Amino acid sequence: MIEFVLLGAFGGIIAGLIPGIHTNLVAVMVACAGFDAWFSCLFLASLASSRSIIDAVPTVFLGASSDVMSLHPAHRFLKKGFGLVGVRILVSGALAGLIVSFLLAPFLFIVLPFLQNLVKPVLFWLLLGVVIFLVLREGARAFVVFSISGVLGYISLSAVTEPLFPLLSGLFGASGLILSLFDGFDVPLQKTASNPNIPISRLSLFAILGVCLSGFLMLFPGLGPSQAASLVRVKSKTRYLLLTGALGTVDVIISLVAFVSIGRARNGAVAVMEQLVGSFDISALIALIGACCFSAGIAGLASVPISKWYSSIFDFVEYRFVALGVLFFLCVLSLTLSGLLGLLIFAVSAIVGLLAPLLGVSRSHAMGCLLVPTLLMLW
């Protein structure tokens, strides 16, 4: 049994380092592979956890741009030569998020059904309210990004068999890479000193905030970690990275808790687990959370040498070649998974994805691609 957890941890590390290989994509492959159902679930839980931690590395080192307006806070560290510090902050946030969500899991298990019953009758209006709040905060330009992404999502979701891959990797992955190619961004030499001094109290605070936000958004279909980070205004880039790091791992743990507690499969990996075993008892939930903890430990340990290795790639290879390679890989994957129409969706999504940084608003508004169809479905 432990070998599947170990395999999941290493699978998550590899998937996390390759842009575009999302947990949901691996989950679909696992569902088709026909392995033992329970071992597949352990593998997926472990993979999701380690991937959410190692994801810090490409988040910092890929998709950066010279344009200050479109810079992700992680890329600001990279531009100053402190990319390794950025990775360490994200990983610290992710581990803190995992520990806090692990400790709060019993509480969430009890509370989520009550919240679900409370929210259910007014789900549409609450979701609409959250969306309006998020969009209005950044004004008319955010509304433009949100509505165009929404129309694109509405059309794409019923157009091909695997629409999410070309849609999301186009909107969030390819657009950043294209922007960095056009403005001739190159990764500066990275400093090796990488010990950010973050007090435990601050780590805990942002981990708890991550659990609260993720637990709240768990009740709303279509809203994920990126919207959770947008709900609160965090101006300091270190704090923002702590929060986004925490949200990734918290989402994995809370998704498992929510599935057993309220029977809702929040993400693709849990949906595949549901398809494989139907339902879990508490013991299964404990084992799955255990797999997440084990895998997070492995990924956390691996993050230090891996981030140094990843950073050293740019000493030998020009950033634009890496970006072009990743773009080519995403194109091939879109074509393989969703056919020619998928490739078209990928291309259009990449162009739409450019709107947010060009208009100077948060990329998370492009999640309109899922939120608009969800709102229409709930209507």
Of 20-28, 54-62, 281-289, 329-337, which segment contacts other proteins by CB under 8 A?
A: 281-289
Q: Which of 198, 253, 270, 271 binds other proteins (CB under 8 A)?
A: 198
Residue 10 in the binding site for other proteins (CB under 8 A)? no
Residue 286 in the binding site for other proteins (CB under 8 A)? yes
Residue 7 in the binding site for other proteins (CB under 8 A)? no
* Residues in contact with other proteins, shown as a per-residue x/- string from 304 to 333 under the rule CB under 8 A: x-----------------------------
Q: How many residues at the interface with other proteins, by CB under 8 A?
A: 43
Q: Which of residues 245-274 bind other proteins (CB under 8 A)?
A: 274
Residue 223 near residue 264, CB atoms below 8 Å: no
Please enumerate in sequence order all residues whose Cβ is within 8 A of that of 269, keeping only pairs 6 or more positions apart, or say none: 23, 24, 26, 27, 44, 45, 47, 48, 255
Residue 140 in the binding site for other proteins (CB under 8 A)? no
Min separation Cβ 152 and other proteins, Å: 34
Helix, strand, coil in percent for the chain, rounding step 5: 80, 0, 20
The dihedral built from the CA positions of residue 7, 8, 9 and 11, taken in this order, carries a sign that is positive
Residue 301 in the binding site for other proteins (CB under 8 A)? yes
How many alpha carbons fall within 13 Å on the CB side of residue 287? 16
Please enumerate in sequence order all residues whose Cβ is within 8 A of that of 303, keeping only pairs 6 or more positions apart, or say none: 53, 54, 56, 57, 87, 88, 91
Nearer CB in complex with other proteins: 88/266: 88
Min separation Cβ 50 and other proteins, Å: 11
Residue 84 in the binding site for other proteins (CB under 8 A)? no
Nearer CB in complex with other proteins: 71/105: 105
Q: Give dist(CA 164, CA 43) in Å, integer.
A: 22
Residue 134 near residue 365, CB atoms below 8 Å: yes
Q: Give dist(CA 375, CA 379) in Å, integer.
A: 6
Min separation Cβ 267 and other proteins, Å: 18
The dihedral built from the CA positions of residue 49, 363, 212 and 279, taken in this order, carries a sign that is negative
Place of tokens 């169809």: 373
Residue 77 in the binding site for other proteins (CB under 8 A)? no
Q: Which of 92, 190, 261, 267 binds other proteins (CB under 8 A)?
A: 92
Would you give the DSSP letter of residue 11? Answer: H
**Crossing angle of helices 83-119 and 282-316, rounded to 10°:** 150
Residue 339 in the binding site for other proteins (CB under 8 A)? no
**Interacting residue ranges for other proteins, rule: CB under 8 A:** 1-2, 5, 36-38, 41-42, 88, 91-92, 95, 98-99, 195-198, 203, 274-278, 280-281, 283-284, 286-287, 289-298, 300-301, 304
